[in-house]
Structure 1
């Protein structure tokens, strides 16, 4: 299967005989356990080029690992090579031009720290240990999206190593079509070695935090919330979770372990104005508690970290929703009240705002007209025998919402087949992505992803 030595490679190459190998093949979703032949830990673009050329020469299956946070586990494979970018974590912020350049192993926590040091930010993940690469390439939804668009909307340029081992630059000036495809088309077109982003003035403090109600009250609260969202300004992004309240110190102890409806907010604007805008939501019904307050943006960004740690087992099903009607609200509530694992949850992202105002054909990221995205998460511990039960619960809620499905966000897919990938883009856009794939990766070297197969395959 070809030598372990990679010509011209200056990073570290790990095989199963190395002590560090098992650590290096661990990814966020502990349910994924794969053993590649080689893990090529790159230090720079030249290493990526060498690794890709080596893979081609020896016909090795290729995985690309950035933050390793993708739920489907495409960062790892069995028997092939992993182009591991996790050591490439540089970030450079230019306050003058309000831009940042990040390497593909960079995590959102480090990115936010660097940009917030100069009072800037861009839409990023809602967990700090997520990598910037996969999130950006799939679209990128997060706390600032209604104010500033998706992460992909803020991607202004990228350096990409293509399947033939060439380094190319994508921007509006150089290869606008590749830039279009990178804004939501995933890792299909090459390995990105540098991402350039547009930044926005924000913080350091924002008005943010959750309001929490008993889950039994969800039908009334969510009917009110739907009306509230309909007129909410773009500076406000809300994310709702149906969850069992974890025993975190920030939550009042008497509610730990209780099933709750949690509506979190970030207001990207003047704090006093945000207080006025959020007052009706905070005042509705009988919340158990309310943690909305001015706080550092970076503190809010890490608030979810402990709820989704590395190594737990995750099984997801997701769909975009055109709106939230009464029947959907009742279905989600009813299924959430039946959750068995205290770690499982459903999360509903409010879309609209700047996400909806970009043109549908402006980027590969799709379904701009969706009002919400629902991600149903079955979660259990590695030593718990509840995988089948939690996966069945996840599918049960997903299937019950079948009549309302409206496309899907590609970053929330597991291995669900080519039909679901097409649903992520719609037919016309999928054809445009296939044409780009034909041009850049006709042999489908980069296929361990939400794959856009070239015509020949």
Structure 2
């Protein structure tokens, strides 16, 4: 094994996989098929000791270091070229304490695993809208999902983190021991270390909720979206809704006469008392003349898995996103026109309602921000033919450019390779400066830079390079060879 990786292997229980290994090609692949990188080695961490060894090894040898947990990141930040990938997917521990209503989970798990365990006790916290999304990256970047209006973001429910820092040591981060670092981890992503476990606050949810979609043909979309946007300010916290423009698949609840055609799907979830659901959701179910209304009692875990078949790994993806202050008629017309001309039938445009409990958390509580936004826009373009990439990217950028006038910021979890200016927009200048100070303390040499990077020098990266190289020289803490 080249580059000293045999030495790393001798210090680990997990396997070090390098090019030429029969498993290398499958292990290097990430969710977004557009990302094709070739790390020098992949360490399949079997425990925390392997994470410690991997961080020390990369720091001492000045290797690029990427961290892969769920691997569901649009920018492919769980991999790198020519460096070491710490693959955390074997870290699958989950402990649910129904007495304290807390969950302690290792960072290789996805929301499907989390929900399966927590729902055994009728508990949950804000997770992704797909069960295959990784818990760690989702949470450290903020975390917007079906429970966000009732219980805040995933990061709002994060109570402590076990973190391997740049000096190769394990730090337990909570509101008492390291309050400023916890503030930064709640939205600041992987800039400060490798999270090996997360502790969450849990809430009574399910196991059955009232949820589902109301589907409209595209000719009603403008009228319905205008009414949908007008209904959002008066929604109770227990109601959540996502409006999606998409091509109707040949699956329920989409009626056969709409298969293959662009439609508007207004999805919703009610977390309150069952007997109040009809009245509470009426403003979202009476917006037009639906082709189908599939709202009703459903298992919470089934709702969390409903989108999984449409977002499986391996396809090529390109996203653009923004937080919006609202929708006006011009924006709605733009959205409907774009849906009539999807560049790929696998693509969609999602508009997620915000507000509620999320908006009432004080802005300075965490790095996660833009709590005053009304809507989260995500243009998800997805295709399978590599030669068509430019067409799909151009379609996405054009639509995003026409809607960007309504933007109040951007969600860091939906950022691609968009430059340092967009990273600053994700936090705002004040929070960004505060994050820089935390970065200077915990990672002054920018070892953890393969992420939406916050350089310790405070210089927002603006180039076209996939990862910032401004602070790449790592002068590792000298330690005896036997400690690596």
What TM-score do you get using the length of structure 2 for normalisation? 0.93
2:387 and 2:308 map into 1 onto residues whose CA distance is 24
Look up the match of 1:63.
66
Look up the match of 1:398.
400
1:27 and 1:271 map into 2 onto residues whose CA distance is 40
Q: Is 1:227 aligned with 2:252? A: no
Q: 1:348 to 1:411 in 2, by over 3 A?
A: same
SS of the equivalent of 1:93 reads strand
1:51 and 1:385 map into 2 onto residues whose CA distance is 37
Gapped runs of 5+ residues in structure 2?
A: 459-470, 472-484
2:127 and 2:181 map into 1 onto residues whose CA distance is 21
Look up the match of 1:93.
96
2:344 and 2:3 map into 1 onto residues whose CA distance is 45
2:62 and 2:287 map into 1 onto residues whose CA distance is 60
Structure 1 vs Structure 2 CA RMSD: 1.1
Q: Is 1:35 aligned with 2:38? A: yes
Shift of residue 255, structure 1, vs aligned partner: 1.8
SS of the equivalent of 1:364 reads coil
Question: Of residues 440, 447, 454 in structure 1, which corresponds to 2:456?
Answer: 454
Question: Of residues 102, 105, 108 in structure 2, which corresponds to 1:105?
Answer: 108
Shift of residue 402, structure 1, vs aligned partner: 2.6
Does the 8 A contact of 2:112 with 2:132 survive in 1?
yes
Look up the match of 2:150.
147
Shift of residue 216, structure 1, vs aligned partner: 2.1
2:173 and 2:243 map into 1 onto residues whose CA distance is 36
1:434 and 1:291 map into 2 onto residues whose CA distance is 47
SS of the equivalent of 1:317 reads strand
2:413 and 2:240 map into 1 onto residues whose CA distance is 19
1:293 and 1:129 map into 2 onto residues whose CA distance is 24
Shift of residue 449, structure 1, vs aligned partner: 0.4
Gapped runs of 5+ residues in structure 1?
A: none
Shift of residue 229, structure 1, vs aligned partner: 1.0
Q: Is 1:14 aligned with 2:17? A: yes
2:371 and 2:286 map into 1 onto residues whose CA distance is 30
Shift of residue 4, structure 1, vs aligned partner: 1.1
Shift of residue 262, structure 1, vs aligned partner: 0.7
Shift of residue 384, structure 1, vs aligned partner: 5.2
1:84 and 1:356 map into 2 onto residues whose CA distance is 35
Question: Of residues 415, 435, 438 in structure 1, which corresponds to 2:437?
Answer: 435
Does the 8 A contact of 1:2 with 1:58 survive in 2?
no
Look up the match of 1:422.
424
Does the 8 A contact of 2:351 with 2:375 survive in 1?
yes
1:150-229 aligned at under 5 Å gives the runs 150-229=153-232
2:426 and 2:28 map into 1 onto residues whose CA distance is 28
SS of the equivalent of 1:187 reads coil
Shift of residue 250, structure 1, vs aligned partner: 4.1
1:51 and 1:347 map into 2 onto residues whose CA distance is 38
SS of the equivalent of 2:323 reads strand
SS of the equivalent of 2:161 reads strand
Question: Of residues 383, 396, 402 in structure 2, which corresponds to 1:380?
Answer: 383
Does the 8 A contact of 1:378 with 1:394 survive in 2?
yes
Q: Is 1:116 aligned with 2:110? A: no
Look up the match of 1:45.
48
CA deviation digits over 1:70-123, x for unaligned, max 9?
Answer: 000010111100011011111110000001011111010010000001100000
2:113 and 2:442 map into 1 onto residues whose CA distance is 31
2:219 and 2:196 map into 1 onto residues whose CA distance is 47
Look up the match of 1:277.
280
1:260 and 1:250 map into 2 onto residues whose CA distance is 12
Does the 8 A contact of 2:324 with 2:374 survive in 1?
yes
Does the 8 A contact of 1:67 with 1:106 survive in 2?
yes
SS of the equivalent of 1:18 reads coil
Shift of residue 325, structure 1, vs aligned partner: 1.8
Shift of residue 171, structure 1, vs aligned partner: 0.7
SS of the equivalent of 1:51 reads helix
